[in-house]
Amino acid sequence: MPEFFNVLAPEEAFEVLRKHLSVRVESERVPTSKALGRVTAREIRSTEDLPPFPRSTMDGYSVRAADTFGATEGLPAYLELAGVVPMGAATEVSLGPGEAAVTFTGGMLADGADAVVMEEYTQHAGGVTVEVLRPVAPGENVLQVGEDVREGNDVLPAGHVIRPQDIGGLMALGITEIEVARRPVVAIVSTGDELVPPIETPGAGQVRDINTYTISALVEKHGGVPVPVALVEDDYEAQREAAVDALEQGDVLVFSAGSSISSRDLTASVIDSLGSPGVLVHGISLKPGKPTIVALIDGKPAFGLPGNPVSAMVVFNLLVRPTLYLLAGCENPPGPATLTARLARDVASVAGREDHVQVRLNGTENRRPTAEPVFGKSNLIYSLVRADGTIIVPLDKAGLYAGENVEVKLF
Amino acid sequence: MPEFFNVLAPEEAFEVLRKHLSVRVESERVPTSKALGRVTAREIRSTEDLPPFPRSTMDGYSVRAADTFGATEGLPAYLELAGVVPMGAATEVSLGPGEAAVTFTGGMLADGADAVVMEEYTQHAGGVTVEVLRPVAPGENVLQVGEDVREGNDVLPAGHVIRPQDIGGLMALGITEIEVARRPVVAIVSTGDELVPPIETPGAGQVRDINTYTISALVEKHGGVPVPVALVEDDYEAQREAAVDALEQGDVLVFSAGSSISSRDLTASVIDSLGSPGVLVHGISLKPGKPTIVALIDGKPAFGLPGNPVSAMVVFNLLVRPTLYLLAGCENPPGPATLTARLARDVASVAGREDHVQVRLNGTENRRPTAEPVFGKSNLIYSLVRADGTIIVPLDKAGLYAGENVEVKLF
C-alpha cells in the first residue's frame, strides 16, 4: 500500500481535528415548538412533578382498594356512590370507607382513594350503590404523582438532538422556551476553471458546479446554515480572497477543490495560508476521497473536499457532518440509519484503504434486503442518485464477498 | 380476543382509507436548491448528455490508445507532445498518429484521442517527447459522453423524496427549478376538558396540552405544514365549530381526542357529522392506539388520535405519516430507519393485537445492539423521550422472548 503510506485513516483524520478544536457552544433561546432538530445547549431539568396529581388511567370508580378485596362476580363489594370527579377540576369528593366516586380516564382521583376500578368490572343500576366485581390493588389504574417525571430530574442532556416527543415532553412541563446551540454557518467555496453555475449552459470543456449545491443540502440536512460564498477559478489570489470572505461569514469553511493534482495543491496552499495552525491532514486512506484536506484556521475548522461529487459527499459525511454536530455540543449524533443487507456481488478493495461503495437495495431474499453495488467512477453524480446507501470495506480488508451480510448506511 | 373483535388491523385501517381516497397531487415550482425533502410531482427527464464531452479522470496525456500498445518500462512508446488541453475550454489540439497532449482530471480529451495515460506511467524530460511506460486500452481513464446520464433518461421518478445528491444531479443537468408536490397542510384540533396550553400553569385536575406540539413536530418532520387550530373542551358545538374551521384550513384534519370513552365518542360523532362518507374506521387492533378514528370528509382525510401521548405518536406514524406522503404522490416513503437488535427481556402481548413497544438501545453484545423495552403506561410522554425506537409484536404473536432478534424502528 505505498500509495497510502503518507496519509491518515479516516478516523485518525477526524481525531486530529477533534484534538485541535476547542468547542465553545454558543446558544440561543428558541420556542420549544420551533426546536425540532435543534441541539440542546445545556441539560434541561424538570421543575415540577408530572403528573402533578394522581390520575386515573381508566374510566370507572375511585375507590379505597381495601374495600374491594375479595370481591367476585358472585359476591361483589357494595360501595356507596359519593359523587363524580369532574375532568379538569379539583375533586370535591372525599371518600369515606365503603365509598366510590365516578372517575374518568386522565382525571383526578377522588380524595382518599388509592385505586380505580374499571367500569367494565362494576355494575351500577342507578341509585347510590355500585357493585364491584373484582378486587383492585392499591395504585391499580392510577398514574402516581411524578410517575412520568419527578421535579428536579434531568429530562434532556446537553447535546441532544430534539425529536417530536422531546417537544411534547418539554411542553408537558411548561418548558416553552429552551436554549439550543446556534446553527453552525458553513461557508462554501467551489473552485475549478471548468465550472460554471448550473443556470448557465456550459461551453466546450465546461461543466456545471454541483458540489456547492450537494454540500449546501447536506449542511441543511444536518442542522447547519449553508452559505455559498463563491465559485472561483484555479487562481491563488482569487481563491484566497474568496476564502478570507468565507472565513468571515462562516463557523466552518468548506472548499470544493478541483480534481487535478495542481488545483488540489493550490487549494491546500490557499487553506494553509489563512491562519494557524493551518492544514492538519492532507490525504486520507479512503476511496473515494483520498485527496482530502483537514485544517484548523484560528479556531475554525476548514475542509478541502475532493472535486469529484461522490468523493465530496463521502468525505462530507465522514468528516464535516460530525464536525457540525461537535460544534453544537453533540458528541454522538443520531444516524446515519443502517440496515443489514446481503451483498449481491463481490466488492474488491485494497488493504490499508477504507472503501465506501454505493449500493442500491434490490428486493429481499430470506427476509434480508439485497445490496447491489452501484459501480461507477467517483465523477458520476448519478451513481449516488441511483443508490440508497453506502457500505464500507474496512481498512484491514481486501474486499467483501457476495452473500456476506453488510451494514448499509442509508442516505 | 373478544376485545378486538370489532376492530380492524392497522394495515387494514390504512387500506380502507387508501381505497376511499382519490389523490390529486397539487404541484408548485421551486428552485432545485430549495427542494431538500420535497416530493417530485412528476418524473424528471434529462435534456442533455452528462458529461457533454469526453472527460479525463486522471492527470496525464490524451493519446490514441493504439499508439501505446506494447509499451513497457524497458521499451516505452515515444509520443510527440502536440500541446496542452486547458481546463474549462475547448480543445485546440488535434492528435495525429504518435502524438499526445497534456490533459487534466475533469478536462476534455484532445481531439482524436480515445484514452488517457496517467502521468505516473510516463516520463517527460521536457522538449517534445513523452515516454509512455504502459499501454492503455481505448476508453481507459475517460468518462464517455453520456456515461453519467443520457439525454432523454428519466433521472428521478414522480413521488420521490429529494436528497442532497438528487439536488446535485439535477443541477448538473441545468435543471434549476422543479415541480414538487405542495406540502399538505395538517390542521390540528386538541380536545379535552382537562387541557390547558403549555404556557399556563395547570390548576387542580388540569394538565398541559402535549399532543398539539408532538403532532405538529411530526407533521413538520414528514414534510407537512402543521396548523394548530384550537384547543377545545369536550362540548359537541365547540368541537364541531373548531373542526369546520380546521377543515377549511387543512388538507388533513387531525383530532387529538380525549381519553375517556365519552369524550372519544364525542369526537367520533363530531368527525362523522362533518361530511361524507364520514367515519370509516373506529377502533384498531393496536396497543397503544386502539381508540383510533379514521375518516374521510368530502375528500379530506381526518383522524381521531387517542389522547394518550404515546398512543397518539404510534398512530400518527402508522396512519397519518403514510397519508401525508400519499397526498404528495409518494407511495413508498423512506424510512423509518430500522436496526436489528437483541431483545433484552420478554415482551408479553395478546394474539390478535399489534403491540408497539418503545425500546432503548443499550450498548452492544456480539456486535448487536441491545433493545431494552421502556415499559410504561401510554399516558407517559417520557416513555417516548427515554426511548430510541419502537419494536412491533405482530398480530399473530402472543409476545417476544428475551434474546430474540428484533427490528427496531428508530425515531
The DSSP annotation for B369-411 comes to EEEEE----TT-HHHHHT-SEEEEE-TT-SEE-TT-EEEEEE-
Instruction: Give B233's contacts in chain A (Cβ within 8 Å).
Output: 88
Instruction: Collect all residues with Cβ–Cβ distance below 8 Å to A138 and sequence separation of at least 6.
Output: A65, A66, A114, A115
Distance from CA of B85 to the nearest CA of A (A): 9
Least confident of A216-225, A246-255, A354-363: A354-363
Tell whether A198 is within 8 A of chain B (Cβ): yes
CB pairs under 8 A between A and B: 305
Tell whether A48 is within 8 A of chain B (Cβ): no
How far apart are alpha carbons A396 and A380 in whole angstroms? Answer: 27
B216-254 residue pLDDT tens: 999 999 999 999 999 999 999 999 999 999 999 999 999
A366, pLDDT greater than 90 = no
Tell whether B129 is within 8 A of chain A (Cβ): no
The pLDDT value recorded for residue B2 is: 34
Map out the domains of chain B with their CATH numbers.
2-25+183-327 (3.40.980.10), 27-50+147-181 (3.90.105.10), 55-143 (2.170.190.11), 338-410 (2.40.340.10)
Of the two residues A6 and B394, the one the predictor is more confident about is B394
Touching A: B residues 355-394, CB under 8 Å: 377, 379-385
Angle (CA) A182 A185 A186, round 5°: 150
- The model carries a pTM of 0.95
Instruction: Collect all residues with Cβ–Cβ distance below 8 Å to B98 and sequence separation of at least 6.
Output: B67, B78, B79, B80
Q: Are strands A129-132 and A122-124 parallel, antiparallel or unpaired?
A: antiparallel
How crowded is residue B94: how many other Cβ atoms within 10 Å of its Cβ? Answer: 13
Tell whether B140 is within 8 A of chain A (Cβ): no
Instruction: Give A156's contacts in chain B (Cβ within 8 Å).
Output: 385
Question: Could you identify the residue written with the cell 391499580?
Answer: A140
How far apart are alpha carbons A60 and A94 in whole angstroms? Answer: 16
The pLDDT value recorded for residue A400 is: 96
Ramachandran category for residue B21: left, alpha or beta (phi over 0 → left; psi -120 to 50 → alpha): beta
Q: Residue B158 has what DSSP assignment?
A: T
Helix (H) or strand (E) holding A405: strand A405-410
pLDDT classification of B340: cutoffs 50, 70, 90? confident
The pLDDT value recorded for residue B375 is: 83
**Cross-chain Cβ contact A195/B88 below 8 Å:** yes
If you average pLDDT over residues A170-184, what whole number do you get?
A: 98
B1, pLDDT greater than 60 = no
How far apart are alpha carbons A266 and A245 in whole angstroms? Answer: 18
The count of C-alpha atoms lying within 13 angstroms of the C-alpha of B10, restricted to the half-sphere facing its C-beta, is: 23
Q: How far is CA A64 from CA A77, A113, A115, in A?
A: 12, 5, 6
B41-74 residue pLDDT tens: 999 999 999 999 999 999 999 999 999 999 999 9
Angle (CA) B303 B308 B312, round 5°: 35
**Cross-chain Cβ contact A208/B174 below 8 Å:** yes
Question: What is the end-to-end Cα distance of chain A in Å, rounded?
Answer: 30
How crowded is residue B79: how many other Cβ atoms within 10 Å of its Cβ? Answer: 26
Touching B: A residues 24-43, CB under 8 Å: 32-33, 36
pLDDT classification of B6: cutoffs 50, 70, 90? low
Distance from CA of B329 to the nearest CA of A (A): 19
Mutate to test the interface with A, among B40, B156, B171, B216 (most CBs of A within 10 A): B171
Q: What amino acid occupies position B334?
A: P
**Cross-chain Cβ contact B163/A87 below 8 Å:** no
B10-52 residue pLDDT tens: 999 999 999 999 999 999 999 999 999 999 999 999 999 999 9
Distance from CA of B305 to the nearest CA of A (A): 15
The pLDDT value recorded for residue A334 is: 83
Q: How far is CA B211 from CA A44, B216, B267, in A?
A: 20, 8, 15
- Find residue A156's DSSP bridge partners: A44
**Mean pLDDT rounded to a whole number for chain A:** 94
Chain B residue with CA closest to A102: the answer is B260
The pLDDT value recorded for residue A224 is: 98
If you average pLDDT over residues B173-180, what whole number do you get?
A: 98
Question: Could you identify the residue written with the cell 460554471?
Answer: A196
Tell whether A155 is within 8 A of chain B (Cβ): yes
Q: Which of B86, B168, B200 sits opposite A213 (nearest CB)?
A: B168
If you average pLDDT over residues A214-226, what whole number do you get?
A: 98
